[in-house]
């Protein structure tokens, strides 16, 4: 039997680049011996790409702004050393470390910057991302339009941003450091960019330019609360007393006597809103997300998905803290038949409407009342008058027992805290 003859080699029209060139081997030996095996370098599309493996098993890949060639060996090595110094030794987030080192690189070597076209793609990605969130049930169409709307408006104000670092920095600088609005905007846009730079988003955006930091590395863009804001947000909200609340309703109710039908209608809407907020312990914005569900009888539910990092609150059934008020004011019946509420209720709209009421402004000045005072009165009444602990009140109010104790314990005594921690004890 004649010996087998191997097929003739196919001639390759293009020379194959070897990764075993002496300068490549030297660079890799340096990384292994000096920085460890978790730091690796390779060529991708003619550019140097650094890969870093973290202790939790996750990886990050970033292009270094130098071409993959012998003449750039020293620049690549120095770039990686500086990244390692910032991230490992000085404990700076990897994205921030890259941004700092990249900013110091020679301008002619830096990778391409974003253009106006890129920003149009970001806005296009926002719409597609929203469609995806709605389609998958992550958020409702109404939530994306209303709750996410303020983030979209902020995003449109920073079209001058050249890359992910400047985009998030410019976005953050629109609002006070550490504020809720700033935090939400940065977190949402980071989620958008992460999606648009992935296969799920069809790589709408260039990952090399627009990949955002990981969730836990957004602190530099969110910023820290000023001492003034810290004091303001940490100060416990004063609950409105039953007496003051009823007096306020009576004062606002004077608008029902106005000859102008629009004034009367507006008065009706706001009386309805205030009563619901006080009786059911609602956040002002939750008035936009109420519905009646039948369970042998009409039950009031809130379907507002309050965002917190990657999660959102689930729909919850609501219970009146004062059943007699609920029945006297026919609150369930009014919700069921669709009685009108003020358009797009929020803490801001509450404050705007109430500042025209003299009694409210007096209570605000003397007792420090705010729109959330109605909700907080629900919590205080639940504890003081009905002896309900955190495990009962927290889910009804749409937060965790820990959040409940952290916030509302400022108003409660030792016995209440004792109840909370007794219930939290594992047998």
**Secondary structure, 3-state, 201-222:** CCCCCCHHHHCCCCHHHCHHHH
pLDDT tens sequence across 104-153: 766 444 444 556 668 888 999 999 999 998 888 777 787 788 778 889 99
Mean per-residue pLDDT of the chain: 81
Choose among 237, 179, 228, 277: nearest CA to 407: 237
Residue 93 reports pLDDT greater than 50: yes
Q: What angle in degrees, to the nearest 10, is found between the helix axes of 373-384 and 242-252?
A: 140
Most confident of 15-29, 32-46, 333-347, 411-425: 333-347
Q: Are 411 and 238 in contact (CB under 8 A)?
A: no
Reported as a pLDDT band with limits 50, 70 and 90, residue 14 is very low
- Would strands 290-294 and 59-67 be described as parallel, antiparallel, or unpaired? unpaired
φ, ψ dihedrals at 327, nearest 5°: -75, -40
Q: Are 48 and 41 in contact (CB under 8 A)?
A: yes
- Would strands 47-53 and 316-317 be described as parallel, antiparallel, or unpaired? unpaired
- Would strands 316-317 and 39-44 be described as parallel, antiparallel, or unpaired? unpaired
Reported as a pLDDT band with limits 50, 70 and 90, residue 26 is confident
Residue 390 reports pLDDT greater than 80: no
Span 46-57, average pLDDT: 84
Which pLDDT score is estimated for 344? 76
Give the predicted TM-score (pTM) of the model.
0.50
Q: Name residues whose C-beta falls within 8 Å of residue 139's C-beta, 6 or more positions apart in sequence.
A: 133, 147, 148, 305, 312
So where are the chain's domains?
22-109, 116-232, 244-376
Q: How far apart are CA 32 and CA 195, in angstroms?
A: 33
Q: Are 272 and 334 in contact (CB under 8 A)?
A: yes
Q: How far apart are CA 358 and CA 297, in angstroms?
A: 40
Which pLDDT score is estimated for 110? 41
Q: How far apart are CA 157 and CA 170, in angstroms?
A: 9
Tokens of 207: 């990952």
pLDDT tens sequence across 252-263: 999 999 999 999
**Secondary structure, 3-state, the chain:** CCCCCCCCCCCCCCCCCCCCCHHHHHHHHHHHHHHCCCEEEEEECCEEEEEEECCCCCEEEEEEEEECCHHHHHHHHHHHHHHHHHHHHCCCCHHHHHHHHHHHCCHHHCCCCCCHHHHHHHHHHHHHHHHHHHHCCCCCHHHHHHCCHHHHHHHHCCCCCCCHHHHHHHHHCCCCCCCHHHHHHHHHHHHHHHHHCCCCCCCCCCHHHHCCCCHHHCHHHHCCCCHHHHHHHHCCCCCCCHHHHHHHHHHHHHHHHCCCHHHHHHHHHHHHHHHHHHHHCCCHHHHHHEEEEECCCEEEEECCCCEECCEECCCEECCCCCHHHHHHCCHHHHHHCCCCCCCCCCHHHHHHHHCCCHHHHHHHHHHCCCCCHHHHHHHHHHHHCCCCCHHHHHHHHCCCHHHHHHHHCCCCCHHHHHHHHHHHCCC
Residue 222 reports pLDDT greater than 90: no
pLDDT tens sequence across 225-249: 776 666 555 556 789 999 999 999 9
């Amino acid at each position: 039997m004649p010996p087998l003859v191997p097929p003739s080699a196919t001639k390759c029209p293009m020379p194959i680049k070897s990764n075993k060139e002496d300068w490549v081997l030297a660079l890799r030996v340096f990384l292994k011996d000096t920085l460890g095996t978790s730091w690796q370098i390779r060529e991708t599309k003619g550019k140097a790409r650094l890969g870093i493996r973290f202790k939790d098993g996750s990886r990050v890949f970033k292009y270094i702004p130098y071409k993959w060639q012998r003449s750039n060996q020293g620049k690549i090595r120095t770039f990686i050393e500086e990244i390692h110094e910032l991230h490992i030794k000085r404990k700076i987030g990897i994205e921030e470390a890259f941004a700092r080192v990249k900013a110091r690189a020679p301008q002619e070597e830096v990778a391409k910057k974003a253009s106006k076209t890129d920003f149009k793609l970001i806005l296009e990605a926002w719409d597609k991302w929203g469609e995806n969130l709605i389609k998958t049930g992550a958020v409702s169409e109404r939530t994306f339009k209303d709750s996410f709307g303020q983030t979209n408006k902020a995003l449109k104000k920073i079209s001058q941003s050249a890359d992910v670092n400047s985009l998030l920095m410019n976005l953050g600088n629109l609002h006070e450091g550490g504020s809720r609005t700033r935090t939400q905007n940065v977190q949402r846009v980071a989620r958008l960019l992460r999606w648009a730079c992935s296969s799920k988003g069809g790589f709408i955006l260039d990952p090399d330019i627009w990949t955002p930091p990981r969730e836990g590395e957004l602190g530099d863009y969110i910023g820290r609360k000023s001492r003034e804001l810290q004091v303001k947000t940490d100060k416990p909200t004063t609950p409105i007393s039953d007496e003051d609340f009823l007096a306020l309703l009576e004062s606002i109710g004077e608008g029902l006597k106005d000859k102008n039908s629009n004034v009367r209608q507006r008065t009706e809407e706001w009386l309805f809103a205030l009563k619901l907020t006080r009786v059911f312990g609602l956040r002002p914005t939750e008035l936009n997300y109420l519905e009646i569900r039948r369970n042998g009888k009409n039950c009031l539910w809130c379907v507002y998905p309050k965002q917190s990092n990657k999660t959102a609150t689930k729909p919850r059934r609501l219970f009146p803290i004062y059943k007699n008020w609920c029945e006297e004011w026919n609150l369930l019946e009014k919700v069921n038949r669709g009685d009108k509420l003020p358009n797009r209720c929020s803490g801001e709209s509450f404050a705007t409407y109430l500042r025209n009421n003299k009694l409210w402004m007096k209570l605000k000045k003397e007792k420090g009342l705010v729109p959330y005072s109605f909700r907080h009165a629900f919590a205080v009444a639940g504890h003081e008058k009905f002896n309900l602990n955190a495990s009962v009140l927290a889910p009804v109010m749409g937060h965790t027992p820990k959040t409940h104790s952290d916030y509302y314990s400022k108003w409660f005594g030792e016995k209440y805290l004792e109840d909370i921690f007794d219930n939290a004890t594992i047998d």
